[in-house]
């Protein structure tokens, strides 16, 4: 595991943390579900537990995706890019990825100069998160 982790360049600095970018794809459809950050600890947890675990730049702590919502992401494949600062995960997504209730966080599309809602809404975010849904905590 360390052979892999040692190649990762945690070069994005936010909230005093050295972070790598994590891109997450549905392993069946290849739809991109979300983009988030990992510090070294979050990556270690992800590889060990096979549950996607990130560093939240708003809460400034590690979080397991799904710890509030139950919408866990099981790791199916892990890749690293040429310069080592971005990771690509294929996952099995429980219910939906986005804290706004959409299957993917990319539910808005640029069309003819405007923003169009194009994503599939799966659940009511207010019911799942209640008042806690003020950040991208999911």
Nearest to 43 by CA among 68, 14, 18, 69: 18
Give the helix ranges, DSSP H, for the chain.
2-5, 40-49, 125-129
Nearer to a second copy, 107 or 123 (CB): 107
Interacting residue with a second copy among 65, 96, 99, 129 (CB under 8 A):
99
User: Can you read off the two tokens belonging to residue 88?
Assistant: 């690509």
User: Can you read off the two tokens belonging to residue 120?
Assistant: 């599939």
In angstroms, what is the minimal distance from the CB of 64 to a second copy?
Answer: 19
Would you count residue 70 as binding a second copy (CB under 8 A)?
no
Question: Residues 123, 127, 67, 86: what is their CA dihedral angle, to the nearest 10 degrees?
Answer: 50
Interacting residue with a second copy among 50, 68, 106, 122 (CB under 8 A):
106
Interacting residue with a second copy among 60, 77, 92, 120 (CB under 8 A):
77
Would you count residue 80 as binding a second copy (CB under 8 A)?
yes
In angstroms, what is the minimal distance from the CB of 111 to a second copy?
Answer: 9
């Amino acid at each position: 595991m360390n052979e892999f982790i040692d190649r990762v360049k945690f070069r994005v600095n936010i909230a005093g943390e050295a972070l790598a970018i994590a891109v997450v794809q549905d392993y069946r459809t290849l739809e991109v579900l979300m983009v988030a950050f990992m510090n070294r600890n979050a990556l270690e947890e992800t590889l060990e537990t096979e549950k996607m675990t990130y560093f939240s730049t708003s809460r400034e702590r590690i979080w397991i995706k799904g710890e509030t919502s139950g919408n866990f992401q099981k790791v199916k494949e892990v890749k690293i890019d040429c310069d080592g600062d971005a990771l690509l995960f294929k996952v099995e997504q429980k219910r939906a990825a986005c804290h706004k209730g959409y299957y993917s966080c990319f539910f808005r599309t640029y069309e003819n100069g405007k923003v169009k809602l194009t994503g599939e809404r799966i659940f009511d975010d207010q019911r799942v998160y209640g008042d806690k849904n003020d950040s991208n905590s999911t």
